[in-house]
Amino acid sequence: MSADSASINLTNHFLIAMPGLSDELFGRSVVFMCEHSERGALGLVINKPSDIQLSRLFEKVDLPMGRDDLARLPVFQGGPVQTERGFVLHEAVSGEGESVYASTLSIPGGLEMTTSKDVLEAMASGAGPRRVFVSLGYASWGQGQLESEITENSWLTVEADPSLIFDTPVAERYERAMALLGLQPWMLSPDAGHA
């Protein structure tokens, strides 16, 4: 790995799958990068909803759904790692500079990812973060793996826009992420330009 590629940090960026990536989970996916360092990377796929709604997830963990605004939100397939575990991406909720939840990763740019049940308990009581994205599982890359995949043209990268996570309809997230780069998927299609 060269010194240039060692300094790349994609935390708080989107990874956008190139149109030619045909992997079942990662094809046409947009991944929000929660953490990226020389040790590896961790992200959540933000455009692959499961067939479970948040209200059903709350039932499974024996909590009431205290937030009608969130009950029908889909739970997402965040990636292939720890698919039985919940990950809650939300706007920063802090007290005295520290997150109010036990297991929380603060992400530069104003978001946090919490893996402890206390964030769900806060939501069950009608409180908690206002805007949330909940996934089961996450995506991870070992040391140098993500950089290698980017070099192989599997992914495009762009600085994350939280409105794409919280305000954009799921079906539009891939195209909108591409649009952040001024692109449309057809422009990069492996079949483009062949008559």
CATH of the domain at 184: 3.40.1740.10
17 inside domain = yes
195 inside domain = no
109 inside domain = yes
54 inside domain = yes
Q: Which pTM was predicted?
A: 0.90
**What pLDDT, in 10s, does the model give residues 33-47?**
999 999 999 999 999
Range with the poorest average pLDDT among 28-42, 46-60, 70-84, 95-109: 95-109
21 inside domain = yes
Q: How many domains does the chain have?
A: 1
Average pLDDT, integer, range 95-118? 86
pLDDT of residue 133: 97
Nearest to 41 by CA among 133, 119, 155: 155
90 inside domain = yes
75 inside domain = yes
**What pLDDT, in 10s, does the model give residues 117-151?**
999 999 999 999 999 999 999 999 999 999 999 99
Q: Which domain holds residue 34?
A: 3-188
141 inside domain = yes
